[in-house]
Amino acid sequence: MKLITAAPRYLETVLLFSAAFAPVLAADMMASEAQKIKVTLNNILQTDDSLLEDDRRKVKQFAGYVSARPFRLRACRVLSLDCTLPVTVLSICVTYLIVVVQFMHLY
């Protein structure tokens, strides 16, 4: 019976973390799309011979721009918003939990 009453708490926790890390998943999907754009531009440059010289120059310039400035989202220019963020948060929580447990044994 205790498991049934505890299930909503676990579900609530999962939903809370899902809502907290949803922007991270969106940022990772955007980074994936930016990578696809870079690959597509390079494929156009290598395979499409029907491009005019001016258009080829513009595509090459844009491909260089995309390669030089990879897509990254950061919070306050410190915390990278990608799929490693939940692991980082979990690591920090476990570290502080260990420290608190060690201090509790002192008293």
Domain boundaries along the sequence of the chain: 23-104
Supply the pLDDT for residue 6: 62
Question: Strand pairing of 74-75 and 79-80?
Answer: antiparallel
Residue 5 confidence class, pLDDT cut points 50, 70, 90: low
Q: For residue 70, which phi and psi values (nearest 5 degrees)? A: -65, 150
Sign of the dihedral through C-alpha 83, 31, 26, 33: negative
Q: CA-CA distance, 8 to 53, in Å (whole number)?
A: 63
Closest residue by Cα to residue 87 from 28, 21, 23, 29: 21
Q: Using one digit for the tens of pLDDT, what is the confidence trace for 20-75?
A: 888 888 888 898 999 999 999 999 889 888 888 898 999 899 989 988 888 888 88
Are 38 and 63 in contact, with CB atoms under 8 Å apart?
yes
Instruction: Look up residue 4 and give its amino acid.
Output: I
70-98 pLDDT, tens digit each: 888 888 888 888 888 888 888 999 999 99
pLDDT at 2: 56
C-alpha span between 23 and 19 (Å, rounded)? 8
- CA pair distance 70, 82, nearest whole angstrom: 13
Helix (H, G, I), strand (E, B) or coil at 76: coil
pTM over 0.85: no
When pLDDT is averaged across residues 5-24 and rounded to a whole number, the result is: 80
